[in-house]
Amino acid sequence: MKRAGCLLFAVAPVLVTATVYFATPEHTATADAKGPASVSRKAREKDSANAERKADGEVADAPPGLAAPDRKELAQEIVASAENSTLKWHEAYAYVEDIGDGQGYTAGIIGFCTGTHDLLTLVERYTEEHPDNGLARFLPALRKVDGTDSHEGLDPGFPAAWRREAALAAFREAQDHERDSVYFDPAVRLAKLDGLGTLGQFIYYDAMVMHGPGTSADGFYGLRERAVREANLPSEGGDEKAYLDIFLDIRREAMKAKDPQRDTTRIDTAQRQFLHDGNLDLHTPLRWKVYGETYRVP
């Protein structure tokens, strides 16, 4: 299997509402040390809560887009073509391999990694509901290697234990839930608030998967902020195609900055092709190439 990259969990995602990252000017602990909360801080918190409710309403009123069941299935297929060189994404639950990218073991349907915290989080949450699962005994080792490419305490049994656990419906559901709550749902929500259609929602989702939900320069939110500085969002009257073209340019640049030899066909001959075809609603049939292989969805 080819894999184009692993999730980067450098920092936790921030609260995003419309195009604003909400934060108060001073840390809550500092404000509390000065005395009771000021009227202005209470007002800011109220404004933030109101904006969040308004954003939720906007998302609820928007067309389902990529969240529609058939579009969501299509999204998983396109991502799998880049992550696993197949459209059969359901077969990736049991996948586990060290691909030599410095992130330890990569596993599961979305490329959870032992070196980037998300695999640890998945197993911890799964163990809370299923304490006797076959991966629970590896939690001390997973905590120890988190943030590294080490296999210490994981070899030789971890890969086989992952594959056995993936045969259980409960663990497959846990992988689905983690994918949706951390990557799919936040990406689609923000894309809708930014005024993007189904293709734009997919482009955000794929970027979230590959770059991780971080605010650093090469994390998803950092990449989006750079794009917003260069082009107006469709929700602000900007041209959707022009904005997405710039966002893809920035993504490609970030991929090459990390590794000049990195294959960028998931952008060049897939997402960029859909965009240049004007397929902003991601209608099928679709045809695209990744790593030189051609994929089709009727």
Would you name the residues annotated as active-site residues?
Answer: 83, 101
Contact 115, 147 (CB under 8 A): yes
Long-range contacts (CB closer than 8 Å, 24 or more residues apart) made by 236-243: 236/19, 236/195, 238/195, 240/195, 240/196, 240/197, 240/200, 240/280, 241/275, 241/278, 241/280, 243/196, 243/200
Length of the chain: 298
Q: Angle at the Cα of 66 (from 11 to 111), degrees rounded to 5?
A: 40
In a 10 Å sphere around its CB, with 0-12 CB exposed, 13-18 middle and 19+ buried, how is residue 174 labelled?
buried
Residue 107, helix vs strand vs coil: strand
Neighbours of 167 (CB within 10 A): 11
Contact 268, 252 (CB under 8 A): yes
Q: Which residue has the tokens 């509402």?
A: 17
In a 10 Å sphere around its CB, with 0-12 CB exposed, 13-18 middle and 19+ buried, how is residue 210 labelled?
buried
Q: How many CA atoms lie within 13 A of 205 on its CB side?
A: 30
CA nearest 187: which of 232, 228, 220, 234? 220
CA nearest 266: which of 5, 1, 29? 5
